[in-house]
Structure 1
Amino acid sequence: MIRSFYWHDYETFGVDPVHDRPSQFAGVRTDADLNIIEDPLVIYCKPADDYLPSPEACLITGITPQKALEDGFPEAEFITQINEAFSQPGTCAVGYNSLRFDDEVTRHTLYRNLRDPYAREWQNGNSRWDIIDMVRLTYALRPDGIHWPRKEDGSPSFRLEELTVANGIAHEAAHDAMSDVLATIAVAKMIKEKQPKLFDFVLNNKDKHSARQMLDTAAMKPVFHISAKYPATRGCCALVAPLAESLSNKNQVIVYDLREDPEELINASVEEIRERVFTSQAELGEGVSRFPLKGVQLNKCP
């Protein structure tokens, strides 16, 4: 049972969560109604002597190695404080695009410092969540009451800093971890207020057990799927049919995009399927397209 949400964000010295290092962390705990109930945690991380930060990352965040060295904690102490906050019983750790980036920063920093990289995600009734796909789902199904910023090509932008500006949400310093955390909470509150049923549906079905029930490969019942793998021009969404569980990953289900006629896939040989799944579109050439198959990760709040 979720007792509290822990909203968080990292700033880092590079774009690779595996090899690059964190520079700043900010987090704050809220209750189930998204009211802040603890003092925020904002800490810096000293850069390692054997690591060279990206100059571009420093320019974007404004955090120099000198500042992090002066104000920060050694990485082991830095991640210990974060892990303690995440590990309180009943905590749901949540962010904006956090499953693909911030959670990976946490995992690799824990592992690098000889700590369990996964325990805080499931022990003591804990869990994790990422609201970016809920934002995309809101645009696709319940867009009313929210202003949606547009890119030059007319497609929607789901960048946090652009979404906050369009909706008059205070976001004084994009790429400052605490500012991003408060902006994320404000966006979540906006959706909870404008579309409460959608908010509750997404929250109540974020775990892998709910996802597995929906992605019934025996019945192949179509489901509405949100993913950044689908272009923003199409709302990052597709009606898909669950075909099979992955043989290499028990938490992955293979789905087919029903915008494309499946007849070619049904009649294709194993060799042709392999070629049209694992070969890039550029190498396939004109007149031949890749089969619209996709793996859905059940344990990543699909």
Structure 2
Amino acid sequence: MHRRQGLSVFCFRSMDRRLPAMPFAFYDLETTGTSPAYDQPLQFAAILADDELRPLERVNMRCRLAPHVLPSPVALAISGVQIDQLTDPALPSWFEMMQEIQRLVEAWAPATWTGYNSMSFDENFLRQSFYQMLQPSVFATQFNGNTRLDVLQVLYAVHWRAHKTLAWPVENAGNAVFRLDALAPANGFKDHDAHDALGDVEATLHLLQLVRSRAPDLFEEILDNRDKTHVDRLLASGEPLEFVTRLSAAPPRGIVGCGSGHDAESANAAAFFDVRIADPVECFSLDQAGLIELLDRSPRVVHRLKINESPMLFHSRVVDETVRDRCREIASSPDFSRRVGTAMAELRVQRYPPPSPGESVRVEERIYDGFYGREDKRLLRSFNMADDWQARMSVVEQFGDARLQQLGRRATVLMAPEIMPAAAVASATRNILTRWRGTEAPPNGWTTIAAVHAQIDRLLREGRIDDGRAGNLRNFYEARVRTLEANQMP
């Protein structure tokens, strides 16, 4: 075990380490809850593997709980994190762990950052943590030649296109189960330490190794999709394609169709038209309102596909003349694709309307409010190179972006309250208590005291914790509240 800048890092390096052109960086997070904006990671684990999926390096990091975060009791029960681990003073802070992860992403680049359900969960958590802890690159896993791959999506494609590659455990209703803790053991991965970040990384690597060895042609097709220009070329080809996805709890399936434009405001979001359930010619005459209704229709006719998230997109295996003709019609109607792109942008605004003038938006939810300017990027480097929080605070005062000013002041009062004026600390503790004691939180927001006690009661009813564990948890949460009431950071 190496102690590096206050971090507990476990590294097991091969004797002959060789970084190929595009290694794989398998990773996983264990977190305090399900909200990327209002929870935090507690554990980060990663394995660097070469292009043949042979492990080269393993890293395992933990950090202590930030003062303003109430961890979900359900999340703690799932991960098995103990109370004394949350506040262990020997562990690094959230800020220090994110610094180390950012350095690791830079050191391993270029690599394919690979996880299990990572596009929906881990990527968002990593991005928010880089943002809130003022790291220079919020989108680190997408820059410097890095690409991304979600093994859960890979397994959807394997289930549909090469079913016999793996054993598929089923639930009572007969549907395949895609939980990692079920799939990995069913396919020969023994002693899986489920919901430990490193254990989940090992299991994810094992499953992808099986796909590579048993379905090599499909594996190579999947890897091609890491390159978004390749995906774009497929979509623009006018050829019949198959997009493999999973809708809700239904089994994965392949949707046959072709590209039909890009979101007018987001070049990475493409439209994929299902030519088996609709004739595009009948849609060409739709006005803009009609196109928006088409995009919102169920069953879905036009699917939104992210070209920079390694979508499971392939040449269609079976093509009839109707499918081929409909794809040709779309390819020969660029105006239709342009109008679909405009409708995509308008529908997105309808679903996620921007704040009204004067409406206050929490800083956690402003992550996508634009890129930082060149000077602020330089200052972020200085902020992270500073020796202490006093020096960092002097950098905060120079930021031009209001988000960085607010996040910098907040990080300082949370991580180093001793250097802040007493009034600033008292104001911060009051704000945290107000948030915790609120009766409601925003959708996928922070954990409140009321939610904590409701979750503990539920865990007791379900037999997932005993009375002793429940009592320890209640004491822990009550102690955090009392510390804040004394105008101190827990």
Give the TM-score of the pair, scaled to structure 2. 0.55
Aligned letter for 1:118? Answer: F
Aligned letter for 1:29? Answer: L
| Deviation per residue, 1:130-180 (Å, 9 max, x gap) | 222221111111122421122333222222111112212124221111110
CA contact (8 A) 1:277 1:290 kept: no
How do 1:191-230 and structure 2 match up within 5 A?
A: 191-216=211-236, 220-228=238-246, 230=247
Which one of the candidate residues 139, 147, 154 is aligned to 1:118?
139
Distance 1:161 1:256 in 2: 34
Give the superposition deviation at 1:225: 0.6
Which segments of 5 or more consecutive residues in structure 1 lack a partner in the other structure? 282-288
Is 1:47 matched up with 2:47?
A: no
How do 1:283-294 and structure 2 match up within 5 A?
A: 289=298, 291-294=300-303
Q: Determine the structure 2 residue equivalent to 1:2.
A: 21
Q: Determine the structure 2 residue equivalent to 1:101.
A: 121
CA contact (8 A) 1:44 1:68 kept: no
Which segments of 5 or more consecutive residues in structure 2 lack a partner in the other structure? 1-19, 312-490
Distance 2:241 2:253 in 1: 14
After superposition, the Cα gap between the structure-2 partners of 1:28 and 1:19, relative to the gap in structure 1 and judged at 3 Å, is: same
Distance 2:214 2:81 in 1: 36
After superposition, the Cα gap between the structure-2 partners of 1:257 and 1:231, relative to the gap in structure 1 and judged at 3 Å, is: farther
| Deviation per residue, 1:239-285 (Å, 9 max, x gap) | 1221111112111111122331336644544323334544xx7xxxx
Q: Determine the structure 1 residue equivalent to 2:323.
A: none
Which one of the candidate residues 218, 222, 233 is aligned to 2:250?
233
Q: Which has the larger radius of gyration?
A: 2
Q: Determine the structure 2 residue equivalent to 1:35.
A: 54
Q: Determine the structure 2 residue equivalent to 1:251.
A: 268
SS at match of 2:271: strand
Is 1:168 matched up with 2:185?
A: no
Give the superposition deviation at 1:17: 1.8
Distance 1:163 1:127 in 2: 25
Is 1:178 matched up with 2:201?
A: no
Distance 1:234 1:257 in 2: 18
Higher alpha-carbon deviation: 253-262 or 105-114: 253-262
Aligned letter for 2:138? Answer: P
Distance 1:191 1:146 in 2: 8
Give the superposition deviation at 1:298: 0.7
Q: Determine the structure 2 residue equivalent to 1:284.
A: none
Distance 1:242 1:271 in 2: 21
Q: Determine the structure 2 residue equivalent to 1:242.
A: 259
Distance 2:148 2:252 in 1: 24
SS at match of 1:133: helix
Aligned letter for 1:224? Answer: E
After superposition, the Cα gap between the structure-2 partners of 1:165 and 1:42, relative to the gap in structure 1 and judged at 3 Å, is: same
Aligned letter for 1:110? Answer: F
| Deviation per residue, 1:219-238 (Å, 9 max, x gap) | 5332111223x355352431
SS at match of 2:163: coil
Give the superposition deviation at 1:65: 4.7
Higher alpha-carbon deviation: 269-278 or 133-142: 269-278
CA contact (8 A) 1:276 1:290 kept: no
Distance 1:251 1:166 in 2: 36
| Deviation per residue, 1:82-122 (Å, 9 max, x gap) | 12222123222211111221111111111111112124422
Q: Determine the structure 2 residue equivalent to 1:296.
A: 305
Which one of the candidate residues 117, 122, 138 is aligned to 2:158?
138
| Deviation per residue, 1:58-77 (Å, 9 max, x gap) | 11111145313215310111
Aligned letter for 1:178? Answer: L
Distance 2:284 2:299 in 1: 14
Higher alpha-carbon deviation: 185-194 or 139-148: 139-148
Q: Determine the structure 1 residue equivalent to 2:149.
A: 129
Is 1:11 matched up with 2:23?
A: no
SS at match of 2:55: coil
Identity of aligned residues (%): 26
- Greater percentage in helix: 2
Paired residues, what number?
288
Give the TM-score of the pair, scaled to structure 1. 0.87
Distance 2:133 2:156 in 1: 35
Aligned letter for 1:198? Answer: L
| Deviation per residue, 1:172-229 (Å, 9 max, x gap) | 221111110000010011111111111122113312111100111xx5332111223x
